[in-house]
Amino acid sequence: MNPDSTSPGDLLVRVGAILFALGAVATIATVTPLFLGLHRLPTPAYFVCMVMPLGFAVALAGLLRTARSQRR
């Protein structure tokens, strides 16, 4: 395969990595006030943390899609 060619799952892997990073930052932002003794963030901030496993699942789906296309 050429280095310039893209696999079918590349976009999913990139989007998944971005979602995972966003969720990781949100997790750090919501846990930090608890350790520092500050006020908790509002509940919607904790729901943003759920983007991290979603990003992991999207990236995994992209990897599986790429593997399936290379198998053919």
pTM of the model: 0.84
Are 8 and 67 spatial neighbours (Cβ–Cβ below 8 Å)?
A: no
pLDDT in tens, 26-51: 999 999 999 999 999 999 999 999 99
Helices 10-36 and 51-71, packing angle to 10 deg: 160
Question: What is the reported pLDDT for 1?
Answer: 52
pLDDT, residue 4, reads 61
Q: Give the pLDDT confidence of 49-70 residue by residue, as tens digits.
A: 999 999 999 999 999 999 998 8
3-state secondary structure of 42: coil
